């Protein structure tokens, strides 16, 4: 992969921004890693070339020189050291989760593309979701006149999905999710208006959409709407909560009521950035328990 002509150095250590952890922790799916450790990231509006090192990273964007896009995407305004201090005061044992993945951040993404991504996450794992989104971008993503990423396309929007039929999507490997994506592409959703609603109403509105249940809605809120206290509950987080915080919930079947109880328990203990904290639990358990059951998003 050629290097871009105009590269910039950001002296932000990996303990503050761990690019690899951010990209591989099941938050975003349209990226590629070279054997030399460089990353090409595609969103709906820009491409980024990233070469991380312990003491900082080289970067380039297309359109060029858009540090503001990277700064927002990686949520660099959030003080991780402050979060670490708060979390370990709330749960001293959380140090192990921080130490396993320092520099992990919640990514600030477009709510429309997170809707597409996480509708695909149901009964799925990270590697398969990546393949689906890459095939989708290859089919209808915007082509980029970028010499260092000439084969990479931008993440499709819902409007571009109207170019595909349900049968087209099934041939791309989307299975039953193809029907949901076709339905979503025809709704004419107004994400700007949705973002202006109270958080509870955003969640309720999302859960009325095809293919969106409680966990998918919470993923979209956390990664797409910046709701830092949104807590997607999966098997990883449930294991953490029931083993460390609220053992009485361990015997309950995973009903919607149990889901809400688990999320509320974690949020009540870990505080206003509990959505960030759950990502550390997810990343830690996914790295240490590498069985297929532990790869779900």
Catalytic residue set: 215
Q: 277 and 82 in contact (C-beta within 8 Å)?
A: no
Q: CA-to-CA distance for 251 and 23, rounded, in angstroms? A: 34
Residue 204 has a CB neighbour count (10 Å cut-off) of 12
């Amino acid at each position: 992969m050629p290097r871009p002509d105009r590269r910039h150095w950001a002296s932000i250590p990996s303990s503050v921004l761990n690019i690899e952890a951010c990209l591989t922790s099941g938050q975003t799916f349209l990226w590629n890693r070279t054997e030399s450790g460089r990353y090409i990231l595609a969103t709906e509006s820009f491409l980024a070339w990233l070469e991380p090192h312990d003491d900082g990273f080289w970067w380039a964007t297309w359109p060029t020189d858009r540090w503001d896009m990277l700064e927002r995407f990686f949520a660099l305004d959030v003080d991780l050291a402050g979060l670490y201090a708060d979390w370990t005061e709330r749960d001293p044992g959380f140090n192990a989760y921080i130490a396993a993945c320092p520099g992990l951040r919640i990514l600030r993404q477009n709510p429309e593309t997170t809707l597409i991504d996480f509708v695909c996450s149901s009964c799925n794992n990270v590697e398969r979701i990546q393949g689906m989104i890459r095939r989708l971008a290859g089919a209808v993503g915007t082509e980029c006149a970028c010499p260092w990423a000439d084969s990479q396309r931008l993440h499709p929007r819902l409007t571009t999905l109207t170019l595909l039929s349900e049968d087209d999507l099934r041939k791309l490997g989307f299975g039953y999710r193809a029907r949901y994506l076709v339905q979503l592409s025809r709704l004419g959703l107004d994400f700007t208006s949705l973002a202006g609603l109270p958080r509870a109403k955003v969640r309720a509105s999302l859960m009325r959409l095809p293919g969106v249940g409680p966990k998918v809605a919470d993923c979209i809120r956390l990664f797409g709407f910046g709701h830092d206290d949104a807590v997607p509950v999966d098997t990883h987080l449930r294991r953490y909560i029931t083993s460390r915080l609220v053992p009485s919930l361990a015997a309950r079947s995973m009903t919607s009521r149990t889901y809400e109880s688990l999320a509320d328990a974690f949020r009540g203990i870990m505080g206003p950035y509990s959505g960030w904290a759950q990502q550390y639990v997810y990343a830690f358990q996914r790295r240490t328990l590498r069985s297929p059951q532990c790869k779900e998003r």
